[in-house]
């Protein structure tokens, strides 16, 4: 099963993709998580990527393609995956099509959440510094949330690219660079739209129903 999940920043792509990966026993491949791991590792590439991400801009298409191609070639991706955060530009969509050849993808999902809702979600998002797990702080003024993953012991804090200025830029880039891909996949008969507003478990059930019906 080869799935791609789209949606505005804060729509819940990461939250839902983690659960879908467990449900279908496929890896969750998040380009944002891969870049953040490189930042945590302090590599030269990670430091460069951090500057771009913190400004709310996009890492170059060729770098992203190299990263995704390498990840998809690993053995755990042989029987499918859920891609989160890639493709994000027309060039990346074309690169992915060339990379996959005839196999292509099975389904593109648009997790649809209005802009005013995602802005509120992002304001309360806290991400564990150690393991990357996402939490929603009960109040936007609460700066840290203890991570509840067994054995982690980390603290969840605001993401460096969740500042108001970077979020505005990321949402604008989504509309100009990524949203056109929805039409592109719709034209190929591969797009389904799922309402991402509601409790995460309700959204999850809706996603599973739609995927099972389509794939
Ligand atoms: P990336 O990590 O992909 O971030 P994003 O697209 O901005 O998406 P988000 O992580 O902000 O949102 P999400 O939809 O995953 O929401 P989440 O589940 O966290 O990319 C980061 C950066 O990396 C980019 O800006 C770019 O610089 C670079 N990059 C990555 N890929 C790239 C590429 N292909 N090309 C170039 N550059 C690239 O949920 C949000 C919050 O809401 C959480 O707190 C969560 O707990 C809460 N929540 C989730 N679901 C619900 C619900 N149903 N109800 C209430 N709250 C909910």
Ligand 1: nearest atom to the Cα of 124? 44
pLDDT at 132: 87
Q: Please indicate whether residue 105, judged by its CB atom, sits closer than 6 Å to ligand 1.
A: no
Q: Which of 2, 36, 50, 159 is catalytic?
A: 159
Q: Is the CB of 53 under 6 A from ligand 1?
A: yes
The answer to whether 126 is a known catalytic residue is no
pLDDT range class, residue 2, cuts 50, 70, 90? very high
**Residue written as tokens 């590599």?**
43
Q: Is 97 an annotated catalytic residue? A: no
Contact in structure between 99 and 21 (CB atoms under 8 Å)? no
CB 156 within 8 A of CB 146: yes
Confidence class of residue 162 from pLDDT cuts 50, 70 and 90? very high
Report d(CA 208, CA 83) in Å as an integer.
16
Instruction: Note the residue count of the chain.
Output: 215
pLDDT of 35:
95
Q: Residues 197, 199, 202, CA angle at the centre, nearest 5°? A: 90
Kindly tell me if the per-residue pLDDT of 190 is higher than 90: yes
Structure confidence by residue, pLDDT tens digits, 80-130: 999 999 999 999 999 999 999 988 999 999 999 999 999 999 999 999 999
152: confidence class by pLDDT, cuts 50, 70, 90: very high
Q: Is 73 helix (H, G, I), strand (E, B) or coil?
A: coil
pLDDT digits (tens, 9 = 90+) for 17-63: 999 999 999 999 999 999 999 998 999 999 999 999 999 999 999 99
Distance 106 CA to ligand 1 centre (A): 22
Q: Strand runs (DSSP E) across the chain, as ranges?
A: 2-6, 28-30, 81-84, 107-112, 125-128, 134-136, 145-146, 155-157, 191-195
Catalytic choice (36, 50, 71, 125): 125
Mean pLDDT of the region 206-211: 98
Catalytic annotation present for 48: no
Task: List C-alpha distances in Å: 117 to 10, 27, 70, 124, 142.
Answer: 8, 28, 35, 11, 19
Residue nearest atom 43 of ligand 1, based on CA coordinates: 125
Specify the pLDDT at position 184: 94
Single pTM value for the model: 0.95
Question: Would you say residue 150 has pLDDT above 90?
Answer: yes
* Cα distance between residue 44 and residue 35, in whole Å: 12
The gap between the terminal CA atoms of the chain, to the nearest Å, is 8
Give dist(CA 62, CA 81) in Å, integer.
21
Tokens at 43, concatenated: 């590599």
Q: Which of 13, 36, 50, 126 is catalytic?
A: 13
Query: Which of 15, 162, 172 is the best mutation target for the ligand 1 pocket, counting ligand atoms within 8 Å of the beta carbon and taking the most?
Result: 15
Can you give the pLDDT at residue 185?
A: 96
Is residue 145 predicted with pLDDT exceeding 90? yes
């Amino acid at each position: 099963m080869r799935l791609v999940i789209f949606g505005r920043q804060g729509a819940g792509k990461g939250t839902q993709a983690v659960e879908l990966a467990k449900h279908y026993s496929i890896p969750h491949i998040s380009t944002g998580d891969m870049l953040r791991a490189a930042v945590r590792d302090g590599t030269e590439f990670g430091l460069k990527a951090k500057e771009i991400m913190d400004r709310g801009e996009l890492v170059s298409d060729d770098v992203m393609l190299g990263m995704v191609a390498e990840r998809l070639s690993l053995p755990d991706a042989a029987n499918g995956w859920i891609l989160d955060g890639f493709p994000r530009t027309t060039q990346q969509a074309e690169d992915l099509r060339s990379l996959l050849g005839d196999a292509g993808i099975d389904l593109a999902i648009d997790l649809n959440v209005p802009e005013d809702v995602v802005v509120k979600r992002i304001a309360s998002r806290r991400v564990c510094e150690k393991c990357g797990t996402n939490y929603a702080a009960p109040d936007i003024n609460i700066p840290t949330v203890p991570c509840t993953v067994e054995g982690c012991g980390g603290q969840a804090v605001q993401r460096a690219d969740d500042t108001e200025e970077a979020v505005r830029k990321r949402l604008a880039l989504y509309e100009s660079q990524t949203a056109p891909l929805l039409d592109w996949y719709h034209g190929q008969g591969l797009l389904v739209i799922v309402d991402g507003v509601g409790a995460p478990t309700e959204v999850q059930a809706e996603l599973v129903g739609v995927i099972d019906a389509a794939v």
